[in-house]
Amino acid sequence: MSGVTYDAGALIAAERDSKSVWRLHRRLLERGMYPTLPTVVLGQAWRGGPQARLSRLVRGCRIEPFTEQQARSAGAALAASDGRDLVDAAVVVTALDRGDLVVTSDPDDLRRIAAAIGRDLAVHVV
């Protein structure tokens, strides 16, 4: 594992003040590791109101834009898995590109997408 990627489940858990998410986030920052947060994930979790906890978490992340090439890869992975959630596919392909562990509340869908493209995905469930 080279790093950590957050999916929407991790962001939602942080906003709900999940002690396990905040403990993990704090440990990563103490080790000088900034989790990757794909912009599409932020868009999925953001609800437009003051989300103080989520905003605090985002400040401690490396925000990753979603590129055209990543969109193509995610679309292909989605088709291969017969899936429907582009954000899940985006998380999978970008995390696999970096060799990241994914912090998620939905490991089954993410693993299914990874398996459909012949890869294993490391996950940490929150």
What's the pTM value of the predicted model, to 2 decimals? 0.94
Q: If pLDDT is split at 50, 70 and 90, which confidence band does 1 have? A: low
The whole-angstrom separation of Cα 83 and Cα 79 is 6
Residue 9 sits at φ, ψ, to 5 deg, of -60, -35
Q: Which CATH number is 49's domain given?
A: 3.40.50.1010
Q: What is the pLDDT of residue 50?
A: 84
Mean pLDDT of all residues belonging to the chain:
96
At residue 115, does pLDDT exceed 80?
yes
At residue 33, does pLDDT exceed 80?
yes
> How many domains are contained in the chain?
1
Q: If pLDDT is split at 50, 70 and 90, which confidence band does 48 have? A: confident
Q: Are the CB atoms for 100 and 73 separated by under 8 Å? A: no
Residue 49: domain span:
4-125
pLDDT in tens, 62-80: 999 999 999 999 999 999 9
